[in-house]
């Protein structure tokens, strides 16, 4: 049976006029109401018809780029590179460029699904999802369903720095090898002689966090070194600053700290200096990603370089069909250990 606009209205507990306003975007609607309507549209798999369908077709030059936090250089670099590649690779109808829209989820699972619903409604030409995903079975299943629907409707789906969603084989995926990079980083510290190493991890429910922490632990286990204290928190400077105090409280004799990313590492460095500790004389600090400011930190930050710009650009070309998908649909993108002045041998 064909789902009608009235069916959507009944499911969302609103009037058909409100559903029309949400789908057409021609009248302000309360955010909570809008999300309820979009959820009903998705649950019923409602398909636009008539004038609404024509409206959707008119926006088929749209490309959605989903990121956790556009203010984070990790995402900003990739999104900028993808947008440039989209502009260079696509002509659109009538010779115009594609419209690449960056959708900032703020790390919200619900917001991510809402954006995917909106892009599906707008018949997006392509969707790029950047960064790690939330490790929640219900959300992963919902995401897989969304991506499958998008792909079946002709939308190209690209995962950039993000592992494939279980149960979904419709996307081309460029996956950062976070485990190997983290393992090599910890092996570097072990090679310098460190045996008491603290770790500042990202949010516990993110794939990037788990993979980097697993690489760190693999290196410790292979060397027969006991794992030091670990603290979880957001991928920001404040998290690193606060975690440094907690790590030292749990083990005052730490000689090294590995941070989840370079931004967190800067917070760790600041907190250590505030306590009168020198870097790397008293404590070595390492980060991850090799963000642009890392080389200008004092001392310059030892880290793992990820090819963020290159990977973002490839994601843009894949989204436009200007580059062939990797064999098997998935490609592991390696990181590179970059040794700088923030790490050194522990004091005797």
Residue 126 · residue 319 · CB < 8 Å: yes
Q: Taking residues 287-295, what's their average pLDDT?
A: 98
CATH code where residue 255 lies? 3.40.50.2300
- Tokens 């069916």 correspond to what residue? 7
Contact between 12 and 39 under an 8 Å Cβ cutoff? The reply is yes
205: in domain: yes
Is 139 part of a structural domain of the chain? no
Both tokens assigned to 157: 């789906």
Instruction: For Cα atoms 125, 128, 129, give the angle at the middle one, nearest 5 degrees.
Output: 145
238 in any annotated domain? yes
**pLDDT tens readout for residues 197-209:** 999 999 999 999 9
The range of the structural domain enclosing residue 26 comes to 1-57
pLDDT at 165: 77
Look at residues 307, 315, 333 and name the one whose alpha carbon lies nearest to residue 102: 315
Q: What is the pLDDT of residue 17?
A: 86
Spatial separation of the C-alpha atoms in residues 138 and 40, rounded to whole Å: 17
Number of other residues whose CB lies within 10 A of the CB of residue 13? 11
Domain end among 11, 27, 57 = 57
- Which secondary-structure segment (H or E) carries 341? none
Q: Is 165 helix (H, G, I), strand (E, B) or coil?
A: coil
Nearest Cα neighbor of 297 from 247, 255, 289 is 289
Count of domains forming the chain: 2
- In sequence order, the 6+-apart residues with CB closer than 8 A to the CB of 247 are 198, 200, 228, 229, 231, 254, 257
State pLDDT tens for residues 299-343.
999 999 999 999 999 999 999 999 999 998 999 999 999 999 999
247 is a domain residue: yes
299 domain-assigned: yes
| Listed residue (77, 296, 100, 285) closest to 194, CA to CA | 285
What lies within 8 Å, CB to CB, of 293 at 6+ separation is 73, 262, 266
CATH number assigned to the domain comprising residue 11: 1.10.260.40
Q: Does 140 map to a domain? A: no
pLDDT at 76: 97
> Does residue 328 lie within any of the structural domains?
no
Confidence of residue 156 (pLDDT cuts 50, 70, 90): very high
pLDDT in tens, 251-276: 999 999 999 999 999 999 999 999 99
pTM for the model: 0.83
């Amino acid at each position: 049976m064909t789902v009608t606009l009235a069916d959507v209205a009944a499911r969302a507990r609103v009037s058909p006029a409100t559903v029309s306003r949400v789908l057409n975007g021609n009248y302000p609607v309360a955010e909570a109401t809008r999300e309820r309507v979009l959820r009903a549209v998705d649950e019923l798999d409602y398909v636009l018809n008539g004038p609404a369908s024509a409206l959707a077709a008119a926006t088929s030059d749209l490309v959605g780029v989903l990121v956790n936090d556009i203010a984070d250089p990790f995402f900003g670099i990739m999104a900028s590179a993808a947008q440039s590649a989209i502009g260079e690779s696509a002509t659109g109808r009538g010779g115009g460029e594609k419209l690449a829209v960056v959708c900032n989820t703020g790390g919200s699972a619900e917001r991510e699904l809402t954006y995917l619903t909106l892009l599906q409604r707008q018949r997006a030409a392509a969707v790029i999802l950047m960064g790690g995903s939330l490790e929640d079975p219900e959300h992963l299943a919902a995401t897989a369903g969304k991506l499958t629907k998008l792909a079946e409707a002709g939308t190209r789906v690209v995962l950039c720095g993000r592992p494939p969603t279980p149960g979904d084989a419709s996307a081309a995926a460029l996956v950062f090898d976070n485990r190997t990079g983290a393992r090599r980083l910890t092996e570097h510290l072990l090679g310098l002689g460190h045996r008491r190493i603290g770790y500042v991890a990202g949010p516990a429910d993110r794939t990037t966090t788990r993979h980097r922490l697993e690489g760190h632990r693999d290196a410790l286990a292979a060397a027969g070194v006991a794992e030091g204290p670990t603290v979880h928190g957001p991928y920001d400077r404040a998290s690193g600053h606060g975690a440094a105090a907690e790590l030292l409280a749990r083990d005052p004799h730490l000689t090294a700290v590995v941070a989840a990313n370079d931004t967190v590492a800067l917070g760790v460095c600041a907190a250590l200096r505030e306590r009168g500790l020198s870097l790397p004389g008293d404590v070595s600090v390492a980060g991850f990603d090799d963000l642009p400011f890392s080389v200008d930190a004092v001392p310059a930050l030892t880290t793992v370089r990820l090819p963020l710009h290159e990977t973002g650009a490839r994601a843009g070309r894949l989204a436009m069909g200007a580059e062939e998908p990797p064999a098997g649909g998935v490609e592991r993108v390696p990181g590179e250990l970059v040794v700088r002045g923030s790490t050194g041998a522990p004091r005797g």
